[in-house]
Structure 1
Amino acid sequence: MSSPYNAEPHQYPTTRYPGQTPVPPVGATPYGAYPPPTTGYLPPEAWPAVQRDPRNPPVLANPGQRLGGHALDFLFVFLGCVVIGIVFLVIGRVTGRPGNEPEGGALLVCHIVAMLAWVVLYDPVQTVLWGRTLGKRCAGTRAVPLARPTERLGFGQALGRWLLDLTMTLVPFLGLLNALWLLWDRPYYQCLHDKVVQTAVIRHRG
């Protein structure tokens, strides 16, 4: 004989009224709770929805942030070259070595090497150390690996990204095309140099 304690509980009929919110089943996400975090990237248009999620999944930077950070980085590189030039000019004046003397030639070589090092290493060194450059810091963005958006770029990937960007900039029209490519690229808003090295630029919050 079956025990009444093992019997299934009686299912009472429920009546739903117009406009009534359905009650979630046992084990489901309670009403008002946040959904599971979204994997991968979200387009900038999804930013208001992401703000309501305290876990903050990575969100792509919009084209304005990308172009602004890009322009600021080239401005900082140019200003750095000007400062290096002034420093070596002062050194030449203080030491009194004209450019036609052997010592002046060595000073000129050091000037060129220092300027090239600044131009080439400006982006990758900052990206490896802090995850973003001065321009990206001002624009509120940072470059990340496309497949691992929570990690920083390695030095090789950061160096290749910057050298590709610099090379394309020196080629007539190619630099402009590279910078504007993100305006119609979907879904990752990548420039051409991002596509080659598989990187993306996301918003940096905090």
Structure 2
Amino acid sequence: MVPYAPNGMPLAGFGDRFLAYLIDGLVTFGVAVVLAIPIFIAMFAVIAGTANTDSSSAGPSILLILLFEFGYVLAILAWIYIYHVEMFGHSGVTWGKRAMKLRIIRLDDPAAPPTRGVMARRWAVQNVAGAVVPFFSYVDGLWQLWDKPYQQCLHDKAAGTIVVKAG
């Protein structure tokens, strides 16, 4: 028996949500690779520049490399935010959710579209907490398997959203 949302739409199953997550992950990975190319070129230029000088200047090059890496992590987090929050506001779904015919709706008002704040809260719990707390991403994603009645992940609970099958 398929469980239903308060608006009568069927809830998205684990398999559909997981495939949408994988598709979105591939999109994110592709952008991460494209962003990495200029950063690695700059890092290698810094390393090559310090290799041609005396060894006493190796300290600042390590600091620069760490700054490049920190900037890269921030750029990836910014891209994931844009993809999951801002793009959602533009099209209503990510590419993975579109491919799997899924939609995010608010639990308190299923007819109203999720706001930027709701989507930002959802993103922060899923991505920021997942990057900081060990194994949180696994627990978050698997939570829907035993959550009743709406099969919510922890990021859904924090934002007050549910995922439904739209097609």
What's the TM-score bracket when you normalise by the shorter of the two chains? 0.7 to 0.9
Following the alignment from structure 2 to structure 1, what is the Cα–Cα distance between the partners of residues 38 and 103?
A: 31
Residues 3 and 150, structure 2, Cα contact 8 Å, conserved in 1: no
Q: Which residue of 2 aligns with 1:44?
A: 2
Structure 1 residue runs without a partner (length 5+): 1-42, 47-55
Following the alignment from structure 2 to structure 1, what is the Cα–Cα distance between the partners of residues 130 and 74?
A: 21
Using the size of structure 2 for normalisation, the TM-score is: 0.72
- CA 183–116 in structure 1, closer or farther in 2 if over 3 Å, else same: closer
Structure 2 residue runs without a partner (length 5+): 51-63
Following the alignment from structure 1 to structure 2, what is the Cα–Cα distance between the partners of residues 113 and 195?
A: 26
Task: Output one character per residue of 1:54-77: Cα deviation in whole Å (capped at 9) or x when no partner.
Answer: xx9422111211222123222321
- CA 186–112 in structure 1, closer or farther in 2 if over 3 Å, else same: closer
Q: Which one-letter code corresponds to 1:44 in the other structure? A: V
**Moved segments of 4+, more than 3 Å:** 87-90, 97-101, 108-116
The one of 190, 201, 206 equivalent to 2:152 is 190
Residues 69 and 135, structure 1, Cα contact 8 Å, conserved in 2: yes
Q: Which residue of 2 aligns with 1:74?
A: 25
Following the alignment from structure 2 to structure 1, what is the Cα–Cα distance between the partners of residues 38 and 13?
A: 38
Q: Which residue of 2 aligns with 1:62?
A: 13
Structure with higher helix content: 2
Following the alignment from structure 2 to structure 1, what is the Cα–Cα distance between the partners of residues 78 and 140?
A: 23
Question: How far did 1:191 drift?
Answer: 0.2
Correspondence 1:87-102 to 2 at 5 A: 87=38, 98=46
Structure number, greater radius of gyration: 1
Using the size of structure 1 for normalisation, the TM-score is: 0.60
2:135 is equivalent to residue 173 of structure 1:
yes
Task: Output one character per residue of 1:173-193: Cα deviation in whole Å (capped at 9) or x when no partner.
Answer: 221111001011111110011
2:166 is equivalent to residue 204 of structure 1:
yes
Q: Which residue of 1 aligns with 2:93?
A: 132
Residues 3 and 10, structure 2, Cα contact 8 Å, conserved in 1: no
> What fraction of aligned residue pairs are identical, expressed as a percent?
31
- CA 63–110 in structure 1, closer or farther in 2 if over 3 Å, else same: closer
2:71 is equivalent to residue 118 of structure 1:
no
Residues 85 and 120, structure 2, Cα contact 8 Å, conserved in 1: yes
Calculate the aligned-residue CA RMSD, in Å. 3.0
- CA 190–110 in structure 1, closer or farther in 2 if over 3 Å, else same: closer
Task: Give the secondary-structure state (helix, strand or coil) at the position aligned to 1:200.
Answer: strand
- Structure number with the bigger relative contact order (C-alpha 8 A, sep ≥ 6) is 2
Residues 2 and 10, structure 2, Cα contact 8 Å, conserved in 1: yes
Task: Output one character per residue of 1:28-75: Cα deviation in whole Å (capped at 9) or x when no partner.
Answer: xxxxxxxxxxxxxxx7257xxxxxxxxx94221112112221232223
Aligned residues: 148
